Amino acid sequence: MSAQDFLVELGTEELPPKALNTLAEAFLAGIDKGLQAAGLGYEAKQVYAAPRRLAVLITALATQQPDRSINLDGPPRQAAFDAEGNPTQAALGFAKKCGVELSEIDQSGAKLRFSQVIKGKPTASLLPTIVEDSLNDLPIPKRMRWGARKEEFVRPTQWLVMLLGDQVIDCTILAQKAGRDSRGHRFHHPDSVRITSPANYLNDLRAAYVLADANERRAIISQRTAELATRQEGTAIVPPALLDEVTALVEWPVPLVCSFEERFLDVPQEALITTMQDNQKYFCLLDADGKLLPRFITVANIESKDPQQIIDGNEKVVRPRLTDAEFFFKQDKKQKLEAFNLRLQNVVFQEKLGSVYDKAERVSKLAAHIATRIGGDATRAARAGLLSKCDLATEMVGEFPEMQGVAGYYYALNDGEPQDVALALNEQYMPRGAGAELPSTLTGAAVAIADKLDTLVGIFGIGMLPTGSKDPYALRRAALGVLRILIDKKLDLDLTDAVAFAVNAFGAKVKAAGLADLVLEFIFDRLRARYEDEGVDVATYLSVRALKPGSALDFDQRVQAVQAFRQLPEAAALAAVNKRVSNLLSKVEGNIPTTVEAKYFDNANEFSLYSAIQQADQAVQPMAAARQYRESLARLAALREPVDAFFEAVMVNAEDANVRANRYALLARLRGLFLGVADISLLG
């Protein structure tokens, strides 16, 4: 079967840069889906995207759709015809479904059967529908119409190229008649560009100052930016999302170095970087110490004969933005950071929970409480908690919301606050996402935990629990943040105590009955997903959860110990024994004796198990006290042999009540040893 390369390019006005990659991938996926549905094979596929075009190249596409056979079974003969041989509704309905007369249906077998060979169509006749369907299915939240046209798309369309080999596909899509003429760079080559062949698409456009391959543009921008930064004795900040956006803004990228006045460096560099990246799409430069240089890189979309004009224009544009940041910074510093709390008394945190200032006061007290329990300074934690929300009322954060926490850090330092107090104002928001940075100070950790617990308790306390995908207060993220800080920084905090403190701080604003248990359940539920991501079996998590440890660090240490225990050869048998013992003990009526009396033993295996339990108990007590859970379970694994021997030789439910009770007491001692770490009966 013959094959030809296929090219489709839709030309438009400038496409939304942040959506360009998504649109391109969806365009390719839609065409691929259509080709597969039509049974059209090909060797390779590639998508190209630039500000004014989306294109897909299919290499070696079959030029003819293969013939298809259809075989449909209908109703049995006895159901298809009545006693007189007349067709029933079942037979007539089957014929209608197949789109033929009943006489064309094969009636020779046990069932009616319809067979048909559908001749394949020329690929050229199928491509318009495939392309149009793909464009209609693009993820465009809001489509637009232009002029008097009825067609809708994300931007006005300007041209359409559709080539199968050297053949132009005759069709009109989105008001554009297909041809072989594309367009070059808006300024360097505004004339049409004849596409000589699908395979030569990139080269034809390159000659017209258009790099249609986004990967090529991205690589050029990345490489040239790095080279220019090195010449400036710095390194460029190139966030992947910004690099993608800039790549989507230009057809012919030309990075240029610009500068700004050094006086602006007195402003927090985060504010300068934010405004240059978010508003101007510039790449900022840092020196070897990570300090902002008074230079930045812009990516022009034109190869100018006088690039200095472009540089001057960008420097002129950025100056007012930096001046604004400078003004806000100076204005805010005219008063102490703490003074901004006055404004927060009139800012509602949540209608039923009071103002943002009320929250800061609660966080202050809770942070102090937490700090004393994790080895921090309660006074500094309380101070940081009180200042934690102040910068939300500053001019700087009002203009640059991304500066919350960061602005507070700088203003606190300006006021002479201790370094860890200042850092805590930013660290309270950590971690800002999965795998993100954690607080570096104990003061910051205390405030971060306090802030998150306060939100969890408050929102749960007014009954606004997250449901499904709705979590407006980011409670899941808050719970995960608390767990990450405690586990990854190895902070041993009893969350039961901390949550109870938080509940009391709200007073009558929340429904306190059962609230602490609800919040703790929610927090520790988050660990399940964390461990699943780490490859820890859910049974391991549940075995520890059954004991309800109050410390997240302690919880994690137990989980890691059980996970290691499960690799031991004795693990499965001991888990099964624990399950058996648990079932036996759960059926006992009345109280099980707390002591084991050797006088009731009548079998050597009882003595052996009792002796082994006593020795194990002595060995694991100091391990448990030191939270050496892994070592403890490894030591308990040695009990497998005497346990197996006991169950082989001893009938637990003896007729003598004293003997039976004594054996229950012995098994309770055995189970108690394992329950010092986890309920391993749940591993079976």
The pair phi, psi for residue 294, each rounded to 5°, is -80, 45
Q: How confident is the model at residue 1 (pLDDT cuts 50, 70, 90)?
A: low
CA angle 531, 532, 538 (to 5 degrees): 85
Query: Cis omega before residue 253 (within 30°)?
Result: no
pLDDT at 244: 97
Q: How confident is the model at residue 258 (pLDDT cuts 50, 70, 90)?
A: very high
Assess whether pLDDT exceeds 90 at residue 276. Answer: yes
pTM: 0.81
CA atoms within 13 Å, Cβ hemisphere of 193: 26
Mean pLDDT of 371-391: 97
> For the segment 523-563, what is each residue's pLDDT rounded down to a tens digit?
999 999 889 988 999 999 999 999 999 999 999 999 999 99
Q: Is 411 left (phi over 0), alpha (psi -120 to 50) or beta?
A: alpha
> For the segment 383-395, what is each residue's pLDDT rounded down to a tens digit?
999 999 999 999 9
Enter the tokens of residue 416. 């002479």
Nearest-angstrom CA–CA distance, 499 and 130: 58
User: What percentage of residues in the chain have a pLDDT greater than 70?
Assistant: 100
235 bridge partner residues: 286
We find that the CATH architecture of domain 559-683 is Orthogonal Bundle (1.10)
Q: What is the mean pLDDT of the chain?
A: 93
pLDDT at 654: 85
> For the segment 11-56, what is each residue's pLDDT rounded down to a tens digit?
999 999 999 999 999 999 999 999 999 999 999 999 999 999 999 9
Domain ranges of the chain: 3-65+122-206, 70-118, 230-332, 338-535, 559-683
User: What percentage of residues in the chain have a pLDDT greater than 90?
Assistant: 75
Write b or e for each residue in 489-527: b if 16 or more Cβ atoms lie within 10 A of its Cβ, otherwise e.
Answer: eebebbbeebbbbbbebbeebbeeeebbebbbebbbebb
> For the segment 447-500, what is each residue's pLDDT rounded down to a tens digit?
999 999 999 999 999 999 888 778 889 999 999 999 999 999 999 999 999 999
Dmax over CA atoms of the chain, in Å, equals 105
Nearest-angstrom CA–CA distance, 282 and 299: 8
Q: What's the per-residue H, E or C state across 579-619?
A: HHHHHHHHCCCCCCCCCCCHHHCCCHHHHHHHHHHHHHHHH
Enter the tokens of residue 674. 């394992």
User: For domain 3-65+122-206, is the CATH number 1.10.10.410?
Assistant: no
Topology of domain 338-535, per CATH?
Hypothetical protein af1432 (1.10.3210)
> For the segment 570-628, what is each residue's pLDDT rounded down to a tens digit?
888 888 888 888 888 888 777 888 888 888 888 888 899 999 999 999 999 999 889 99
Q: How confident is the model at residue 684 (pLDDT cuts 50, 70, 90)?
A: low
pLDDT at 650: 85
pLDDT at 392: 97
* Helix ranges restricted to H, 307-464: 307-332, 341-344, 356-373, 378-387, 395-399, 406-414, 419-427, 442-461
